[in-house]
Amino acid sequence: MNKKKIWLLMIILFSSVLFAGCNDNSNAASDSEDKEQVVRIGYQKNGPLIILKSLGTLDDRLESMGYLVEWNEFQAGPLLVEALNAESIDFGRTGNTPPIFAQAADAPFVYVAVGFSKYKGSGILVPQDSDIQQLEDLKGKTVGFSKGSSSHYLIVKALEKAGLEYSDIKPAYLNPGDARVAFEQGTIDAKAVWDPYTASTEINSNGRLLVDGEGLTTDRDFFVATREFAENHGDLMEVILEEIEKSSEWANTNHDELVEMLAPILNIDEASVEKSVKRRVYGIEEITDDIIEEQQEIADVFYQLEIIPKELNVEEVMK
């Protein structure tokens, strides 16, 4: 078995063990209906598309155009981009690292839009009474984070800033739930994670934010689509992005209602959800040269760490 096949198998196994995906087909069309009249959207509970889904405005607008929306829920970005690769969804949202894996696997997709930076909610946390006071103190410590995630990249950049090597820490590859348990039990010295898990750790697990992502990572949302959908359904793409913008504006100006909406969906206390939504801005901005460079740097770092098997030119999949 060659190196690429081994790598692909590893990513599939990793995604399957680490996360479990499920489909919410409450709005799906029946199998007998024409598939061309269904827009299949992949979303995660911890992302802006759950807001759009909950408000129902996209469903109403596309229905007036003769389309139904099929909402497919995924517990994590890697599984969402696998579905994109299999062309079982047309459009979705994910974080900044899953599209890197998708491109490395030659998935037929393109980036179509990008969200604003969420760096304030991404960070490295330590217990309140920890002797770790600065990044340099991470040397020799055990740090928990999800392998190949935005937090993995954050750790690499933080160590670089501190003049440390990746080999100077003991990585513990843990998903956010397992990392929280390890953090509370003291089996890891620090962890890197994103909101609302960052906020929940601060509020409920005696966590202290050592650093957030400022100057280290932008931790953006990316909206992605199959190449076929992006190239052949520009009218639908325009409507989807317009409705994301509208739902984002609602989210930014209705925090109380947003917290009430998200807390039961995320199964996280309202205080943690409130803290997380107040330190981010929802919305879409254009994909600029700077944003392309941000993604390129992630791809380069993951190639150097041998997390992906080949060098990438991310501009090739930018719409």
Q: Are 184 and 177 in contact (CB under 8 A)?
A: no
Per-residue pLDDT reduced to its tens digit, 207-227: 999 999 999 999 999 999 999
Q: Of the residues 180, 212, 244, which one is the last residue of a structural domain?
A: 212
Regarding whether 81 and 32 lie in a shared domain, the answer is: yes
Tally the residues of the chain. 319
Best CA proximity match to 14, nearest among 183, 174, 123: 174
Per-residue pLDDT reduced to its tens digit, 88-145: 999 999 999 999 999 999 999 999 999 999 999 999 999 999 999 999 999 999 999 9
Q: In what order do the strands lie in the sheet with 190-193?
A: 170-173, 142-145, 190-193, 123-127, 207-212
User: In Å, how far from its chain's centre is CA 67?
Assistant: 27
Per-residue pLDDT reduced to its tens digit, 232-277: 999 999 999 999 999 999 999 999 999 999 999 999 999 999 999 9
Two structure tokens written together for 211 = 């650093």
Q: Specify the DSSP class assigned to residue 37.
A: G
Q: Of the residues 212, 239, 264, which one is the last residue of a structural domain?
A: 212
Q: Is 40 left (phi over 0), alpha (psi -120 to 50) or beta?
A: beta
Regarding whether 228 and 89 lie in a shared domain, the answer is: yes
pLDDT over threshold 60, residue 69: yes
Residue spans of alpha helices (H) in the chain: 3-18, 48-55, 57-64, 77-85, 98-104, 150-161, 176-185, 197-204, 227-232, 234-253, 255-266, 270-278, 289-304
Residue type for position 233: H
- How much is the pLDDT for 132? 97
Distances (CA, A) of 42 to 47, 85, 223, 243: 11, 12, 10, 15
Number of domains in the chain: 2
User: What is the CATH classification number for the domain harbouring 190?
Assistant: 3.40.190.10
Regarding whether 133 and 225 lie in a shared domain, the answer is: no
Regarding whether 111 and 227 lie in a shared domain, the answer is: yes
Residue type for position 204: N
Residue 10's pLDDT band (cuts 50, 70, 90): very low
Q: Of the residues 196, 212, 228, which one is the last residue of a structural domain?
A: 212
Regarding whether 158 and 91 lie in a shared domain, the answer is: no
Is the pTM here over 0.85, yes or no?
A: no
